[in-house]
Each structure stands twice: as C-alpha cells, then as structure tokens.
Amino acid sequence: MFYIINILGTIAFAISGVLIAFEKRMDAFGILIIAFVTAVGGGTLRDVLIGSTPVFWMIDISYAYVIILSTIFAIIFRKRLNYLRKSLFLFDTIGIGLYTLIGIEKGLQEGLHPLICVALGTMTASFGGVIRDILCNEIPIIFRRETIYATTCILGGFVYFLLDNFKVDNTIVYVVSGAVIIVTRLLAVKFKISLPNIYKTEF
C-alpha cells in the first residue's frame, strides 16, 4: 500500500509539473525537469533531513521511469486535458494528499514524534511545488493568501494519528486521511476559504 501510494503521488505531481511547464511554454527538457522536481523535490528534502541517503529515487530507478512515462503521457494527451488550470489544480491536490501520507509513514519508520511526522508529511507534499513555482518564476502556492495548501496537509496528518490512535485498519486510515486533505483543499478553493489576513487585523 505504501509503495502504491508513493507511485500514485509521483504520477500526480509529475503531471502537475508538466502542465505548469506547458503554461510557461518550456521546451521538452524544461518540461521534464519541472516534472521531476515537482514529483521528488519534497521527498528529497525529507530524506536529507532524516538522514535517509541516498534518497529514495536514487535507490529505486522505478521513480525515474514513472516520471518520464508520466511526462510523455501528459505531453501526448495534453489537448485532452481540457481546462489546463483545472487539471493542474486537480493533480496537484491529489499529489499533496498522497505525499502527506508518505511523509508521515517515513517519519514513523524513523520513530519520530507524531508532530514531526506531520511536519515531514507537509514538507513532502508541499516543497516539490515550492521548487516548481520558484523555477517557473511564480510565488510558491503555499505562500499565497488565496490558497489553503499546507494547512490541509496538517489537518490530514492529525486525522491520520487520530484514527491510528483508535487502532483503525491501516487501509482505512490512508483512505480517510488522504480524502480529508483532498476534499478540504477542493472545498477551500470552491468556496474561496483562506486563512485570516494578518495585515488587516487590528490589535
């Protein structure tokens, strides 16, 4: 289950990277690089911080193959991915849901405190997108007021440990906590929910 989630997250984020690279009209090499850093950037930082080196995608070549195939798929079927913005948003949302779970599991394997595991999950889910946006000359999505991004990862992480505390089956824990992240993000964007603007808060 853990490996499947990892692969699905890699596919979702790789396609997300391809779509934004298309919006920036990059060449084929640029598209592949953006897909790659979006898919493995957060996980690479996570592994470096916990001392798990070589990092995961260097040990298992399958990740490189998955990213390349996902990139080719997105390039071939880009015209069928109607409404690029909506497609980018959907794949990015699925990616953060899956990658949050991966980061939490990695932290648990290292015997880390639940709060640190939630932080690792958030980092795994968010920082590939941060690197992608920086390379594409955009303000990283987690820093934009109009989006709730990392907050959904944190919420999903707490749901994960709440269910785990009640000894719920692992598969159910994965599905429910991942769904909480994805649905919360979708609802936040649909209803324009954002964190309070501290610049307009009076003390």
> Does 60 reside within a domain?
yes
What are the backbone angles phi and psi of residue 61, rounded to the nearest 5°?
Answer: -65, -15
> Does 173 reside within a domain?
no
**C-alpha pair distances (Å), 126 with each of 167, 196, 203:** 28, 20, 31
Asked whether the beta carbons of 154 and 56 are under 8 A apart, the reply is no
Q: Give the pLDDT of residue 173.
A: 95
**Which two three-digit tokens encode residue 183?**
């649905």
> Does 106 reside within a domain?
yes
pLDDT tens, 95-150?
899 999 999 999 999 999 999 999 999 999 999 999 999 999 998 888 876 568 88
Close Cβ partners of 44 (under 8 Å, ≥ 6 residues apart): 55, 56, 57
> Does 97 reside within a domain?
yes
**Which two three-digit tokens encode residue 180?**
């909480």
Domain encompassing residue 137: 2-142
> Does 52 reside within a domain?
yes
Separation of alpha carbons 199 and 92, rounded Å:
28
> Does 41 reside within a domain?
yes
Give the total number of structural domains in the chain. 1
3-state secondary structure at position 80: coil
> Does 110 reside within a domain?
yes
Q: Give the pLDDT of residue 78.
A: 77
Asked whether the beta carbons of 124 and 111 are under 8 A apart, the reply is no
Distance of CA 49 to the CA centre of its chain: 17
Separation of alpha carbons 120 and 171, rounded Å:
20
Which of 70, 85, 78 is closest to 32 using CA atoms? Answer: 70
Q: Give the pLDDT of residue 127.
A: 94
Low-confidence spans in the chain with pLDDT less than 50: 203
> Does 163 reside within a domain?
no
The pTM of this model reads 0.87
